[in-house]
Amino acid sequence: MYKQTNLPKALYFSLRKNPFSSLITDYGLPKPVSMNRITTLAFGLLLSRELKKDDDERIGIALPPGIAGVIGNLGVIFAGKIPVNLNLTAGKKSINSSMMEANIQKMISVQKVKDKFPDFPWTTEVKDLSEFIKKYKTRKFFLIGLILRILCFPKATQKYFSINKISNDRKEAVLLFTSGSSSQPKGVILSDQNILSNCKQMFALGLFKNQTTILGNLPLFHSFGLTVGTFFPLLHNLSIAAAPSPLDYKSSLRAIRESDTEVVLGTPTFLKGYVRKAGKGDFNNVKYVVAGAEKTPPDLKELFEDKYNCEYLEGYGLTETSPGLSFNLPDSGKKEGSVGRLMEGVKGKTIDPDSGKTLERTSSGILCFRGPNVFKGYLNNREKTKEVFSDDGWFITGDLGRIDEDGFLFIEGRLSRFSKIGGEMVSHESVEDAVTKVLEEGGNSSNQVLCAVIGVSDDLKGEGLVLVLARKLDPKWLSNQLREIGLSNISIPRKIVFVEEIPLLSTGKLDLQKIKSLASPT
């Protein structure tokens, strides 16, 4: 599978197989629209021909999950260029930093998205994909001719669109950016083999069968949404029931219900939303709920398994690992409290947080991994790349956990001060810096430590931020000021606790234990 190939070639020949099978039904449109595999392939090839005219190495994509999002990524990939799916809702600072780092000069979107996000830093040239699709839908005979050509002369068609000329050894196939909560976002370079390996690892689980319908509503700027929710079904003849956002509960539940979705992908935050809004029979056909990015509350797992008779399966991964590292499977393939057994080809170990020395097999420590799905480095950032790799090539996650004797992974916490909110990593320190900046600009300059941020349990989002503040002020004013300087909504503290002074250790560092007790008094 995928031997001596790359992502463009693998996608081309995979989409040509079972050509008239349904690939995607888009429930984000006023009336659901479906497209089969061969037609999607044809549109991707036609788009690639237009994109090849420019010299751009990378092309920004600002699209939600759905038909346009799939075609947009295919077009860029078939053109031999690098798709950069951008987070439309990130703070301005993060977006600008990402676009500058990736040298994005050209973008793909649709007018509806542009109208919805007028403040997004759109490039001068933005290709309207809705107009592109509309143009070729009216040229039915041309489209049919291309489809017949693909079916009858696959190698000649591949050659005509120059897919055969795309190197198998290129270092970059996809570029994704981290959330950027701590200073600037980092560009994660994923190679063809990173993506293909992770899709192969997913397939080896045996969970997904031919024409299994999955819910595809996770953002394309997340590796979970891009690899598992998009590339994997394209490569393995799965069907996608697409909705524009996991927060669009109405469209998501409609997609699940009307498409007879069998596998729902999501984070606990989003899954809680589905449960709150679900009507009778919405989950009747769902066999598996696949969750990641956050720790699952026990009551949520029990609800899906007891009330809806769905198997609730947790996994673990990171953008840097394409993303999957471990996965729970039904019956004997899972353990209570675990995020699954390490996937095929993945090796894991733990190291001591202080010394960096490798620990005994089942000992708790910082989790490290090796495997064909692990990235090689960050874009234009050798220093950060060096920080996350050991001298002998192990990727150091910064997460704390252990791996038991059967290869099951248990996550025990985070080494650094981050909170995972709605699947996004948020740095406590970056929020503290932003608050301090606002206060100092407002004339509250002081040598005193003004604030501290702590993560607390949140029933809706997994974690929430509480700001402990040594100043009295209007919370709404502060929230507005933080947004003005570019802080994203998920980074805005949900609660402020006012204190006389911030507890510090003798070393001058924050006394996190005392701060946590102030933030969440018992």
Distance set, CA 476 to CA 426, 444, 495 (Å) = 20, 17, 11
Q: What is the pTM of this model?
A: 0.80
Query: Which residue ranges make up each domain of the chain?
Result: 7-365, 425-519
Tokens representing residue 310 in the block:
């769905």
Q: Could you read off the pLDDT of 300-349 as tens digits, one per residue?
A: 888 888 888 999 999 999 999 999 999 999 877 788 889 999 999 999 99
Q: Could you read off the pLDDT of 269-294 as tens digits, one per residue?
A: 788 888 888 888 889 999 999 988 77
- Which one-letter amino acid corresponds to residue 319? T
Tokens representing residue 61 in the block:
């994509």
> Is the peptide bond preceding residue 323 cis, with omega within 30 degrees of 0?
yes
Distance set, CA 319 to CA 9, 174, 187, 377 (Å) = 23, 11, 10, 11
Among the listed residues 242, 314, 263, 340, the one whose alpha carbon sits nearest the alpha carbon of residue 28: 242
State the fold for domain 7-365.
Rossmann fold (3.40.50)
Q: Where does residue 165 fall: left (phi above 0), alpha (psi -120 to 50 degrees), or beta otherwise?
A: alpha
Q: Return the pLDDT at 340.
A: 92
Which residue matches tokens 């909705």?
Answer: 243
Q: Return the pLDDT at 367.
A: 95
Asked whether the predicted pLDDT for residue 507 surpasses 50, the reply is no
Asked whether the predicted pLDDT for residue 412 surpasses 80, the reply is no
| CATH code reported for the domain at 425-519 | 3.30.300.30
Q: Return the pLDDT at 79.
A: 97
Q: In angstroms, rounded to a whole number, what is the distance separating the alpha carbons of residues 2 and 93?
A: 38
Q: What is the DSSP letter of 186?
A: -
CB atoms inside a 10 Å sphere around CB 118: 7
Asked whether the predicted pLDDT for residue 509 surpasses 70, the reply is no
Q: Could you read off the pLDDT of 421-458 as tens digits, one per residue?
A: 877 767 787 788 889 888 877 665 555 668 899 888 77
The rounded mean pLDDT for the chain is: 88
Which residue matches tokens 């038991």?
Answer: 404
Q: Return the pLDDT at 514.
A: 82
Q: In angstroms, rounded to a whole number, what is the distance separating the alpha carbons of residues 302 and 282?
A: 17
Work out the pLDDT band at 414, boundaries 50, 70, 90: low
Work out the pLDDT band at 227, boundaries 50, 70, 90: very high
Q: Return the pLDDT at 181.
A: 38
